[in-house]
Every structure is written in C-alpha cells, then in structure tokens.
Amino acid sequence: SQEPQLNPDKDVFGNVEEAVAPTRAMLDEFERLSDQLGEVTDPDEMEKLLNRQAVVQDKIDACNAWELDRQVEVAMSAMNLPPGDADVSKLSGGERRRVALCKILLEHPDLLLLDEPTNHLDAESVAWLERHLAEYTGTVVAVTHDRYFLDNVAGWILELDRGEGIPWEGNYSSWLEQKQHRLVAEEKAATARQKTLKRELEWIRMTPK
C-alpha cells in the first residue's frame, strides 16, 4: 500500500518524534549521568558513571545527535510539514506522505528504501532532499521517474536487462551515455554475427548434397 502508516493518537510532531526516540533516550541518559556525577562522592561509583557516560557520548557523537532538536526542526521545515500540533487523521494524502518521509529520513536506517520520494514535494523540498541524500551515510535505494532527481542523487545504477543485472557507477546522465555506446557496440556485433551466419548458410547451400 502507498498509504503511509502514522500514529493516529499523536499529532504531527509526536509522529516525527517517534523517529528520534532512541536518540532522544541517549541524550536523556547523558544528562542523567551528568546529574548523578555531580552528586556522587564514592570513587568507584564515579568511575562507573564516567565509563558509562563515555560510552553514551561515543554513541551520540557517532550519529551527530547533539543538535537533535535543530535537525528535527530543519527536516520538518524542509519537508514543508503541517504545523506540529496538527491532527494526523485530518491530513491529506500528500501531507501524510511528507510526514512519513520526514520520519524515515530522521530514523536514518542503514538501508533507506524510497518509492517515488519526490511525489507531493515542492521544488525547495526536493532540493533539500537531494542534498540530504547526497550526504547520506547509509545505502539509498530509490524507485523514481524523476530524471532530474535521479541525476542529482544517484551514484550507482543497476540496470535490469533481459534477466541480467548490469551495474554502473555514476549518475543517470553518464549511465545514459554509456548505454547508448553499448547499444551501438551490440548492434555492430549483431550485424557482424548476421553476416557470418549468412556466409555459413550460403556455404551450406552451395555444398553438394
């Protein structure tokens, strides 16, 4: 189904926040550990808290989460979402898709699957999405008919041709160029094969039975 699943019990902001809940929990734990460190006097307990805080800090650093509130705000604005307190049950199909897209981008999975991501987006949102995906640290697999988007975002293309997967490293324009060259080469090879076959058939016909 193309219809994105949103939590009807939460408003737009609540739905978007679901995407960053694990990251939010890490930030909360870091704050809690900082508070505890200010109260602890026992050296062993302090060392235990410091070690745990270092682990949490590394995780936060790894996903660049110190600016989480700003990241959420930027993504919601860039995707042109309805107001944060808007009731999701009253959103149009396009608005629901934008909220769902915003959520999945903020979740930042290792493998991001996108189906026609530029549908229902205005030009500014598409431009932001292109920049975001160009810097994405995971793998992005996109199904799209938007050639401009494909050209700006794709770094690797898999062509499916007669049951065979043909990989190409580069954007859509460079893929089109090499595809044209390949088709010309295939056509020449096919013509050469046809000529050879024709000569063989003529030889067979001329051979006395």
- Per-residue pLDDT of the chain in tens (209 residues, 90 and over written 9): 456 789 999 999 999 999 999 999 999 999 999 999 999 889 999 999 999 999 999 999 998 899 999 999 999 999 999 999 999 999 999 999 999 999 999 999 999 999 999 999 999 999 999 999 988 988 998 888 999 999 999 888 888 888 999 999 999 999 999 999 999 999 999 999 999 999 888 888 888 76
Q: pTM for the complete prediction?
A: 0.77
d(CA 60, CA 67): 10
* DSSP H or E stretch at residue 130: helix 123-134
Phi–psi pair at 150, nearest 5 degrees: -60, -45
Residue with tokens 């309805």: 82
For residue 116, what are the CA distances in angstroms to 1, 9, 16, 103, 186?
13, 27, 20, 16, 32
Please name which of 125, 152, 155 lies closest in space to residue 140, comparing C-alpha atoms. Answer: 155
d(CA 131, CA 5): 26
For residue 140, what are the CA distances in angstroms to 123, 132, 146, 179?
21, 11, 15, 22
d(CA 179, CA 159): 10
User: Which SS3 state, helix, strand or coil, does residue 140 take?
Assistant: strand
Q: Parallel, antiparallel, or unpaired for β 164-169 and 156-161?
A: antiparallel
Query: In this predicted structure, what is the pLDDT of residue 14?
Result: 97
Beta-bridge mates of residue 103:
none
